[in-house]
Structure 1
Amino acid sequence: MAQTHNEATNRQGDAGCGCDPANLVPDLTGTRSVPPFVATGVRMLSFPVAASLFKLTALCDRYLNAPDPASPDWRPLTSMVYVQVLQYDRLVSEPYAQFGFIRQNELLFQIPIISPFKATEPKVGFFSPYLVVDNPVSLTVGREVFGFAKTFGGFQITDSDISVTNWLTPTQDANAQLAEHPLLGQPAYARSTAFLTLDEKPDVTWPYGPIRRLFRKEDGRGTDVGDEEPPFELDEVAWRHLFDSSDMPIVFSEMATETLKQIDSTTVLAPAPEQAAYQARISATSRTTAIAGTGHVVSGPLTVHRYDPLDLVDSFGMQTFLGKVPVWHPYWIDLDFRIDDTTLLTCHC
């Protein structure tokens, strides 16, 4: 059994079984939805919250490192989780853009990750272990193409109020019924006036680069976006401090994503029920192509509802105060982006 697992892990998609990411995409009403995907008119609200570095590391091990021994050794870059609410005005599969587009709302919980940290050119990306969308096409394609753990929910978003619901069973009781339940609330936020507006591709030459400056709070030094290379000489503590304490909106020109596509946990690839099973490891790149504006958000704490099978507060180790989740330096960005360079790294089929 272990030998079968290792052989499958070491098999490359293009050289082994001949799989291609496009072959993992379902037909939707006769039209295929394949990358690259192009999103325009996106309004993003980002609410960074403090979490447990220990629990974030455990999530990376459980869902990224342990299931696939051939994967990089991913670790959280910071002790923050970025709770983000996005409104998409237009989202298309570029090869089939003539067939139309979709609109959607999305809630995601993002963990900045890095591997290996001490390398000359470490790989950095974001791991999103939990996402909610309100468009069934996006839900299906997101799960089938990239393995994103998307679920279906409802959104009520105004200029000052956010409410997100999710379909789940509220308890572990065998008689619990699947129904729509409150998941997240932000009842008092306001977007500031944009302090930066761009009408072209952001002039950021490395993926850590925020627009303007990120300051190292401990010594007052900063890093200009014009730098050709990121300051890899910064140690791990400095990087985490930089992310955790920054009050400037963080805008990435490029962002790596790496996910595991899930399959039936009873297969030979996951003999133990507690282990995450997967079909393939997929990588892609999200590229910011335009920024309409960015600024700060004035907000109160988040309400994150807790259920027996879905306790996000406990899973991430979010810090709470009087039952609420405090927010650190929230910000907004209006942008366009595309997801391309989709690569099948390993497969198990």
Structure 2
Amino acid sequence: MQRPRFNDARTPHLAARLVPPFSFRDVTMRVFPLVADTARLQQFVDRHLNLIAPEPVGRFEVALPFVYLQLVRYGKMSVDAGGGWISQHEVNFTIPLAWYARHAGSLVFKDWAYFTPYMLVDSPLSMTTGREVGGWPKTLGAVIDDYAARRTTVTLDPEERDRRDVLLQIDADGAETGVRGVIGRASTWAARSVDILRASGHLRDRATLPDALRMFERLSRFVVDLHTASPYWLALNLKQFRSATRPELVDYQAFVATKLQLEHIRRVGLAGSGALLLGDVNCGARVELHERGEFPLVDALGLAVAATRRDAGGQRIDQLAAVFPFQLEFDMHYPHGEVLAWRTGHSNGWRTSDGSPAAPTSDDDAPRFVAYPGENFEASAPGRSTDANLCVLPLLADRTKLQAFCDAYLNEPLATSPYRVEAWGAYAYLLVTSETARCVELVVPVRWYQRDVLHGVALVPVYSCCDRAAAAIARSEIDGIPTLPAAIAGPLGRESLADGDGPLLTVRTEVLASPGRRAEVAPLLEIVRNSQAEAASTPALLLSDTFPARRLHEQRRIAESVPDRRIDLCAPLRTLTLKQFRDAAAPSTACHQSVILGERAPERVSALAELEHIEVRLHEFPGQPLVKTLGLRWRAVDVGGPVEVYVFEPCRPFHVQTTLRRGIGHELVVRAGSDAWWVPPLLPADDEAVHAKDLEPQVLLESLLRAHRTSP
């Protein structure tokens, strides 16, 4: 089966480095087995796995009456092929499963597997790669260790800005003391022992003797291998991405199994063995879960609650029943995954990894997105309107470079389709948008053609970041705009700007600064007003000899090109992007690709004003060579630091307060499992494109400003 190549024109260096296989070094894992109701757990597994899995995938049954709460610290996560590396903390809730395959009409035990429906990490790069390659349901959080208090706190805010976002708290010395507490926990553990034997096959009514022997042999081999060989954990994920056209459906859905190989196991043991000797099966640990709508774990997973209390704000806090917590220290190898089965809205049912039919479905059986309880990465409903602030900062660029980017990003993949794009104008636009979240993106205007007939105009996102993880995930996986979570600070885009000088916006995010170095959170972008530092050429600060003349020429050309007619202030803002995800088994290829035409239309413009004396500073990291890729025309560049910092002077930047209405996303072309495009019914031509065919985006923006100033 010929899969399409994954297109890395947006971030050629970064994309080439963040793909499996990975090597994980100095991994420390603390595991807290949380007592759970087996029947409730099985209902969860049935709803999210068994009810949609085709027969070749098999069936999954809960192996133990536990959910493993795992706190993992990765000392070094690196790509085997070389490049930079990441260090991160992770918190996950994992269900141990028995995996059965059908053989000769019967279900036969195949292996142990681990299903992780909830996971938090503190690395944006890990979150993005994990979700889009392996299907891990990662979101951002933070793990805060207080060694003096022997306490670990897990929050949903990776920047730790709001401690009210606490999800989990673990006290190493927090278990109830006294004879009554110890006896109570011991009796609970004894009552669960029968459930454990039944779930593992020894007291299981339906288990055959060969099944029980096979399960016991696999489990025994794993325990022995911890000290004698190279054991593995078989991770199972449901990899899926919502449709931009109908968010309740999926563009792509797959069962992915990844065999995580444990290497160089340095330590395996119980945590708090001293407390265990006193009969405390909790080993001295107390696990408290704070009530959060994003993670309704108690109800969803049937977790046993030992006690409940309320904090000062009335939030419910459940103390969970954790037994025999243990810890491991090891290295691990993360290989390519195995795609057990996949499907799309156009695949006519489930397919095996080689594209053969696995379970045909009827034409009207569109695959639906399977949401975990509390999953909040919903797309904004079409037709929904939100108040927004929009700042537009035009940056002069090289036309040849802009077209070269458009060719590499869209025209080359679309060579066999009826579509092509053409860079429109001599600018790239830095947009700062604030709705439910604040986003910063760099876009290139294009005119797109259908069979060489001008069909519309749109903005192609080159780089995008957002200050909320849920919004970044939705933009990436639904709208097809690859977006990285970032810390965005400052008033620009959020409110009307007050008078004054200094920083208006700063963007910090995780970046791979250079090959062979650890990823770090670093400044990517600053926007300032009335910079006090007068530019002077020095060995560390280079001034452009050509920028002043180029900018003056553009100002005169634009002034002479402004049309007489008024431009519609509520013309739609359309985006055109290549939505794609890497294949888990062959990450250099794409398991799904489509070209999405998105739309947001201003319904009402309440305020519009120019921004004066603005300066943009862009840090050019090797993994994100935005200046070189687009040929951005800089006024100065600082070469004295670890990375080059380019200084730009935008041409006629402005700020708009408006109301944006979300339109329906449209798929222009789609392909999965093949390099041949499927072309849906074509859209009608955009009348606005005819009016704009002889103009440039900057001319339209200038006209918009003039129309606003002269209106009564």
Q: Give the TM-score category using the shorter length.
A: 0.5 to 0.7
* Matching residue's letter, 1:124: W
What is the aligned-residue identity percentage? 25
Residue 329 of structure 1 corresponds to: 324
| Contact 1:249/1:332, CA 8 A, preserved across alignment | no
Residue 356 of structure 2 corresponds to: none
Q: CA–CA distance in 2 between the matches of 1:65 and 1:276?
A: 18
Q: CA–CA distance in 1 between the matches of 2:268 and 2:333?
A: 18
Q: Which has the higher contact order (CA 8 A, sep 6+)?
A: 1
Match of 2:269 among 286, 295, 307: 295
> Could you give the per-residue CA deviations for residues 11-61 of structure 1, whole angstroms, max 9, x where no partner exists?
xxxx3x6368x789x957354322111111011100001111122112222
Matched, 1:73 2:47: no
Match of 1:188 among 140, 147, 172: 172
Match of 1:261 among 219, 239, 254: 239
Unaligned runs of at least 5 residues, structure 1 = 1-14, 169-177, 191-215, 219-230
Aligned-pair RMSD on alpha carbons?
A: 3.6
Q: CA–CA distance in 2 between the matches of 1:276 and 1:50?
A: 33
Residue 167 (structure 1) shift: 4.5
Evaluate the alpha carbon distance shift between residue 53 and residue 315 of structure 1 in structure 2; reply closer, same or farther with a 3 A threshold.
same
Residue 25 of structure 2 corresponds to: 40
Query: Partner of 2:266: helix, strand, or coil?
Result: strand
Evaluate the alpha carbon distance shift between residue 165 and residue 77 of structure 1 in structure 2; reply closer, same or farther with a 3 A threshold.
same
TM-score, normalisation: structure 1: 0.68
Q: CA–CA distance in 2 between the matches of 1:112 and 1:75?
A: 9
| Contact 1:72/1:115, CA 8 A, preserved across alignment | yes
Residue 301 (structure 1) shift: 2.2
Evaluate the alpha carbon distance shift between residue 66 and residue 250 of structure 1 in structure 2; reply closer, same or farther with a 3 A threshold.
farther
**Count of matched residue positions in the alignment of Structure 1 and Structure 2:** 273
| Contact 1:249/1:296, CA 8 A, preserved across alignment | no
TM-score, normalisation: structure 2: 0.35
Match of 2:151 among 161, 169, 181: 161
Q: CA–CA distance in 2 between the matches of 1:335 and 1:267?
A: 44
Q: CA–CA distance in 2 between the matches of 1:140 and 1:68?
A: 25
Query: Partner of 2:212: helix, strand, or coil?
Result: coil
Residue 300 (structure 1) shift: 2.2
Residue 111 of structure 1 corresponds to: 95
| Contact 2:88/2:121, CA 8 A, preserved across alignment | yes
| Contact 1:302/1:325, CA 8 A, preserved across alignment | yes
Q: CA–CA distance in 1 between the matches of 2:15 and 2:74?
A: 23
Evaluate the alpha carbon distance shift between residue 152 and residue 124 of structure 1 in structure 2; reply closer, same or farther with a 3 A threshold.
same
| Contact 1:167/1:180, CA 8 A, preserved across alignment | no
Residue 265 (structure 1) shift: 5.6
Residue 4 of structure 1 corresponds to: none
Evaluate the alpha carbon distance shift between residue 278 and residue 65 of structure 1 in structure 2; reply closer, same or farther with a 3 A threshold.
farther
Evaluate the alpha carbon distance shift between residue 85 and residue 249 of structure 1 in structure 2; reply closer, same or farther with a 3 A threshold.
farther
Match of 1:88 among 44, 56, 74: 74
Q: CA–CA distance in 2 between the matches of 1:63 and 1:255?
A: 20
Residue 343 (structure 1) shift: 2.1
Residue 292 of structure 2 corresponds to: 307
Q: CA–CA distance in 2 between the matches of 1:83 and 1:249?
A: 23
Residue 337 (structure 1) shift: 0.7
Residue 190 of structure 2 corresponds to: none
Residue 134 of structure 1 corresponds to: 122
- Give the 4+ runs in structure 1 shifted more than 3 A: 26-32, 117-121, 248-252, 265-268, 275-278
Evaluate the alpha carbon distance shift between residue 73 and residue 158 of structure 1 in structure 2; reply closer, same or farther with a 3 A threshold.
same
| Contact 1:67/1:276, CA 8 A, preserved across alignment | no
Residue 196 of structure 1 corresponds to: none
| Contact 2:109/2:211, CA 8 A, preserved across alignment | no
* Matching residue's letter, 1:108: N
Q: CA–CA distance in 2 between the matches of 1:155 and 1:68?
A: 34
What pairs with 1:96-245 in structure 2 (closer than 5 Å)?
A: 97=82, 99-116=83-100, 122-159=110-147, 160-167=150-157, 181-188=165-172, 233-234=211-212
Q: CA–CA distance in 2 between the matches of 1:55 and 1:265?
A: 30
Query: Partner of 1:302: helix, strand, or coil?
Result: strand
Evaluate the alpha carbon distance shift between residue 164 and residue 30 of structure 1 in structure 2; reply closer, same or farther with a 3 A threshold.
same
Residue 264 (structure 1) shift: 1.1
Evaluate the alpha carbon distance shift between residue 320 and residue 121 of structure 1 in structure 2; reply closer, same or farther with a 3 A threshold.
closer
Residue 93 (structure 1) shift: 1.6
